[in-house]
Amino acid sequence: MLSKLLIRGATILTMEGPDAIIETGEILMEDGWITHVGLPGSAPGYFDMDEVIEADGEVAMPGFVNCHTHAAMTLLRGYADDMSLMPWLSEKIWPFEDRLTGEDVYWGTMLACLEMIKSGTTCFGDMYFFMDHVARAVEKSGIRAVLARGMVGVAPTGAAALTESEELVKNWNGKADGRITAMLGPHAPYTCPPDYLGKVMDLAAKLKVGVHIHVAETRTEYDDMLKQYGKTPVQHLDSLGLFKLPVLAAHCVHLDQEDMEILAQKAMGIAYNPQSNMKLASGIAPMAKLLDLGATVGIGTDGTSSNNNLDMLEELRAGSYLQKVGTMNPEVLPAYRTLQMATIDGALCMGLGDRVGLIKEGMRGDIILVDIKQPHMCPQHNLVANLAYAANCGDVRTVIIDGKLVMLDGAVLTMDEEKVMAEAQERAMRLAGK
């Protein structure tokens, strides 16, 4: 039997285009698929519904797609801040991560999924380790995810990471009712030498999965790559043939004109992480230019040790404002364009653009309901500007992922919120040696 879920009374922001807004409408989901989007009373089979959500005064829009994070790093939130990159990594982050167990990663990821669901994120792109535990947390929480085992070619774990990546793909790609997709995650060009990247590329081609990689995040990386290979990070990767595969390139802060053209023409997608780039003082990524060149750009929060939350509304706003001041042009990344980046374009960046990111017949039902009857979104001159520039994550009231109710009016249905926070707190304190 079909499971049928109907949303009634919402204003529908389909994200199919600036004018594709239904003032009051309804959305029918059957077995996870959106099968009807229309005016009030137009959905067939009202009396057969398993669940009807009355959404008067709320906006229905596609859930946010966070296309670059390291979910389990919630355990490091607030553990080290306001430091220069190398002491931050070598004295604080890496020693902490060395002590992580699989169960720690499970609970850290559970906490991240809880926070993401509560703030309206329905899909995330992750790169970390103990990925079997990450996948279990994704399965349990009900969220959608694109998972990659981070692989550091220069580390002793380099060979094992290749094996684990293959296991992740075999065990989890397409699992959790199709909510999990796998990619390969070579960490970065400066941590994965050409021969190692060659192995990664062979494996990706064999397993038919894409590649998620950090690229040109810092000026140091850019300069070091130039010195070592005589090429920029992007041109180095291009010369190795990486972009023949579907590539999600995270950060892309330091680029020359040719780099931008390569990324615009050849990358599946670029993950823009504005708050991480600001907080770590990495730089202002040239996203307005990349968009002009036709690149597909999504938005990511990065991990919570460099952010420090997973709030996509805050992130997309910071992303728009940072481009405006960075280019000294207030017209770039306008409100609607930025919302697209945080939804459908993020999905496209991870190869999921045929499935999520729009409210449209034939897509999976990843939908959030946002309460717009709030002082900070009053008056309602412009719904899109209010969402992009004034809303906050607390306005997200209801979350549906893959056609299933995951949060109803602020209450998460798939996880025990108290238990998740207690486990994360206890493990974080142990790991910090407290």
| Residues in the annotated binding site for Zn(2+) | 68, 70, 214, 302
Residues with Cβ < 8 Å from 104, sequence gap 6 or more?
72, 75, 427, 431
Nearer to a second copy, 169 or 318 (CB): 318
Judge whether 147 and 131 are in contact, CB under 8 Å: yes
Closest contact distance (angstroms) between CB of 150 and a second copy is 22
Stretch that binds a second copy, among 24-32, 77-85, 123-131, 192-200 (CB under 8 A): 77-85
Residues 133-172 that bind a second copy (CB under 8 A): none
* Residue 433 within binding range of a second copy, rule CB under 8 A: no
At residue 193, φ and ψ (nearest 5 deg) are -65, 165
Under DSSP, is residue 340 helix (H, G, I), strand (E, B) or coil? helix
Judge whether 251 and 221 are in contact, CB under 8 Å: no
Stretch that binds a second copy, among 34-42, 115-123, 153-161, 167-175 (CB under 8 A): 115-123
Stretch that binds a second copy, among 25-33, 34-42, 65-73, 271-279 (CB under 8 A): 271-279
Cα 179 from chain centroid (whole Å):
14
Closest contact distance (angstroms) between CB of 33 and a second copy is 30
Of the candidates 228, 285, 283, the residue with the CA atom closest to the CA atom of residue 259: 285
What are the binding residues for substrate? 97, 149, 187, 217, 302
C-alpha distances out from residue 408 to 242, 304, 401, Å: 42, 25, 12
Residues 36-55 that bind a second copy (CB under 8 A): none
* Residue 29 within binding range of a second copy, rule CB under 8 A: no
Determine which residue in the list 208, 244, 376, 419 makes contact with a second copy, applying CB under 8 A: 376
Q: How far apart are CA 79 and CA 351, in angstroms?
A: 33
Residues 281-320 that bind a second copy (CB under 8 A): 281-284, 304, 307-311, 314, 317-318, 320
Q: Does the CA dihedral 373-374-376-379 come out positive or negative?
A: positive
* Residue 57 within binding range of a second copy, rule CB under 8 A: no
Nearer to a second copy, 14 or 121 (CB): 121
Nearer to a second copy, 39 or 281 (CB): 281
Residues 215-254 that bind a second copy (CB under 8 A): 219
Determine which residue in the list 390, 401, 406, 407 makes contact with a second copy, applying CB under 8 A: 390
Q: How far apart are CA 237 and CA 223, in angstroms?
A: 15
Residues with Cβ < 8 Å from 200, sequence gap 6 or more?
151, 162, 184, 186, 192, 211
Stretch that binds a second copy, among 11-19, 201-209, 244-252, 420-428 (CB under 8 A): 420-428
* Residue 75 within binding range of a second copy, rule CB under 8 A: yes
- What are the tokens at 134? 């990450």
Cα 324 from chain centroid (whole Å):
22
* Residue 265 within binding range of a second copy, rule CB under 8 A: no
Q: How far apart are CA 355 and CA 271, in angstroms?
A: 19
Closest contact distance (angstroms) between CB of 367 and a second copy is 21
Total residues contacting a second copy by CB under 8 A comes to 73
Under DSSP, is residue 172 helix (H, G, I), strand (E, B) or coil? helix
Nearer to a second copy, 208 or 219 (CB): 219
- What are the tokens at 60? 């229905």
Nearer to a second copy, 64 or 172 (CB): 64
Residues 392-411 that bind a second copy (CB under 8 A): 392-394
Of the candidates 315, 232, 245, the residue with the CA atom closest to the CA atom of residue 275: 315
Nearer to a second copy, 76 or 245 (CB): 76
Nearer to a second copy, 183 or 396 (CB): 396
Nearer to a second copy, 276 or 343 (CB): 276
Closest contact distance (angstroms) between CB of 75 and a second copy is 6
Closest contact distance (angstroms) between CB of 269 and a second copy is 23
* Residue 198 within binding range of a second copy, rule CB under 8 A: no
* β-bridge pairing 396-401 and 404-408: antiparallel
Q: How many CB atoms lie within 10 A of CB 227?
A: 8
* Residue 212 within binding range of a second copy, rule CB under 8 A: no
* Residue 66 within binding range of a second copy, rule CB under 8 A: no
Q: CA Rg, the chain, in Å?
A: 21
Q: How far apart are CA 407 and CA 119, in angstroms?
A: 10
Number of H helices, E strands in the chain: 16, 17
Nearer to a second copy, 245 or 369 (CB): 369
CA 64, 70, 73: angle at the middle one, nearest 5?
A: 115
Nearer to a second copy, 246 or 319 (CB): 319
* Residue 334 within binding range of a second copy, rule CB under 8 A: yes
